[in-house]
């Protein structure tokens, strides 16, 4: 997953991108990473009758991948911004600890810090309030999925019970018919000769009824739908946990960036070499830890992409298992392939409002 992302990022120079171009690139990146492809899902939705909650799940997971794409954009921009801090640390290393900064040495460093202080915080792309709204949207979808899945489970259980009762009644009736035929045959001279044939005929009818009953008791479409909703609910549950974790990490890193900007701004306003030296020391101490936390967030974003894809594939496989005519080799490759995504053409029940609004919001120009 990481190699696919880095390969796409190397194609374009972010320093020259406009805000709309940068946003478009990362939206395209999420479509490139998500599996199965959105156009393949749209084709399948047009071909068969899929439950509206499953369509809502696919839309929610696709929008989650878009949010992950925006987080990758924020992470990349944050690294680009912190190149300024690395340059400041490198410049100050040329001055010995016991030596005071001269005006000529301070001037370019203050310029770099002023530039850093004026940069927008890339991790403001999705605020804690927006993460909370996303969480609530997924919670609502999870409740709908679990509620429907429980109803289907109860209905399927009731049907299985009815089928078992019917099967038992069928067995009893076949047994009673066999006994009646034997009694009639025994009391007839002609029946003595015909008894073996009657018994064989009854046993054949009995076996045929048992075979039909077993086929009747097989997996029903209702149970298939229950399994599909169950996989979708598990996928949404994992999404909720992943986004809660990423939300906490983003909040922590956002505060670190704001703190660094405030210190840089204060240092520039003060304009003294002694204060500059202390500020640079603090940057040097915290820079490595900050980058580790940023990498941890990036790892969680990649993990979220992987769990989204795995969950979508499981739901698709369960849908295709219930529709054998769709399970051809060509259709299977198309569903799990890497075609260009276009998005599901549906207006199903998932509330797109809070999430879609954040996905398309203007997030500012990417610079380094």
The residues spanned by each domain of the chain are 19-31+40-153+222-359
89-92-94-95 Cα dihedral, nearest 10 degrees: -150
Average pLDDT, integer, range 266-277: 88
The sign one gets for the Cα dihedral 44, 48, 49, 51 is negative
- Residue 361's Cβ-side half-sphere holds a number of Cα atoms within 13 Å equal to 15
pTM score, whole prediction:
0.69
Average pLDDT, integer, range 170-196: 63
* pLDDT tens figures, 211-233: 555 544 445 778 888 889 999 99
pLDDT for res 12 = 41
Distances (CA, A) of 38 to 32, 94, 183: 10, 54, 67
Residue 295 has pLDDT above 90, yes or no: yes
The percent of residues in the chain predicted with pLDDT above 90, rounded, is 36
Distances (CA, A) of 102 to 106, 115, 266, 280: 6, 20, 19, 15
pLDDT for res 367 = 43
User: What letter does residue 99 receive in the DSSP assignment?
Assistant: S
Radius of gyration of the chain (CA): 33
Least confident of 2-11, 37-46, 183-192, 298-307: 2-11
**Which of 94, 95, 139, 87 is closest to 116 using CA atoms?**
87
pLDDT for res 43 = 73
pLDDT for res 185 = 61
Residue 3 has pLDDT above 60, yes or no: no
Residue 118 has pLDDT above 90, yes or no: yes
**More confident: 231 or 368:** 231
**Which of 253, 283, 273 is closest to 102 using CA atoms?**
273
Residue 58 has pLDDT above 60, yes or no: yes
Contact 154, 290 (CB under 8 A): no
* pLDDT tens figures, 324-366: 544 444 444 444 444 333 333 344 444 444 433 443 343 333 4
Long-range contact list for 133-138, CB < 8 A, 24+ apart? 133/354, 133/355, 134/67, 134/243, 134/354, 134/355, 134/358, 135/240, 135/243, 135/244, 135/247, 136/354, 137/60, 137/350, 137/351, 137/354, 137/355, 138/60, 138/236, 138/239, 138/240, 138/243
* pLDDT tens figures, 125-181: 888 899 999 999 999 999 999 999 888 888 877 676 676 666 666 667 666 766 766
pLDDT for res 143 = 95
The percent of residues in the chain predicted with pLDDT above 70, rounded, is 61
pLDDT for res 90 = 87
The sign one gets for the Cα dihedral 252, 258, 260, 266 is negative
Q: Which helix (H) or strand (E) holds 29?
A: helix 19-33
Cis bond leading into 36, ω under 30°? yes
pLDDT for res 225 = 87
pLDDT for res 194 = 52
């Amino acid at each position: 997953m990481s190699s696919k992302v880095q390969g796409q990022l190397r194609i374009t120079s972010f320093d020259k991108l406009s805000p709309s171009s940068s946003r478009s690139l990362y939206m395209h990146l999420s479509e490139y990473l998500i599996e199965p492809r959105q156009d393949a899902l749209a084709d399948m939705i047009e071909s068969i009758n899929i439950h509206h909650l499953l369509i809502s799940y696919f839309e929610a997971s696709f929008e989650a991948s878009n949010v992950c794409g925006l987080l990758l954009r924020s992470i990349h921009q944050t690294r680009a911004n912190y190149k300024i801090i690395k340059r400041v640390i490198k410049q100050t290393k040329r001055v010995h600890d016991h030596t005071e900064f001269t005006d000529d040495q301070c001037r370019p460093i203050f310029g770099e810090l002023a530039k850093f202080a004026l940069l927008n915080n890339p991790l403001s792309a999705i605020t804690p309030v927006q993460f909370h709204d996303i969480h609530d949207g997924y919670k609502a979808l999870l409740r709908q999925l679990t509620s429907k899945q429980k109803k289907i489970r109860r209905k399927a259980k009731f049907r299985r019970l009815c089928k078992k009762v019917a099967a038992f009644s069928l067995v009893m009736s076949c047994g009673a018919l066999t006994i009646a035929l034997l009694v009639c045959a025994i009391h007839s001279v002609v029946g003595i000769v015909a008894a073996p044939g009657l018994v064989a005929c009854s046993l054949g009818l009995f076996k045929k009824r048992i075979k039909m009953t077993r086929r009747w008791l097989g997996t029903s479409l209702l149970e298939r739908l229950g399994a599909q909703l169950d996989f979708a609910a598990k996928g949404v549950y994992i999404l909720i946990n992943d986004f809660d974790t990423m939300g906490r990490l983003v909040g922590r890193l956002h505060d670190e960036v704001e703190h660094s900007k405030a210190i840089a701004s204060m240092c520039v306003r003060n304009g003294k070499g002694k204060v500059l030296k202390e500020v640079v020391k603090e940057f040097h101490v915290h820079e490595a830890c900050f980058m580790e936390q940023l990498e941890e967030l990036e790892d969680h974003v990649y993990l979220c992409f992987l769990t989204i894809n795995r969950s979508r594939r499981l739901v698709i496989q369960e849908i295709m298992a219930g529709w054998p005519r769709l399970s051809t080799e060509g259709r299977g490759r198309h569903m799990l392939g890497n075609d260009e995504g276009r998005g599901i053409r549906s207006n199903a029940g998932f509330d797109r409002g809070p999430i879609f609004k954040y996905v398309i919001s203007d997030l500012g120009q990417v610079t380094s």
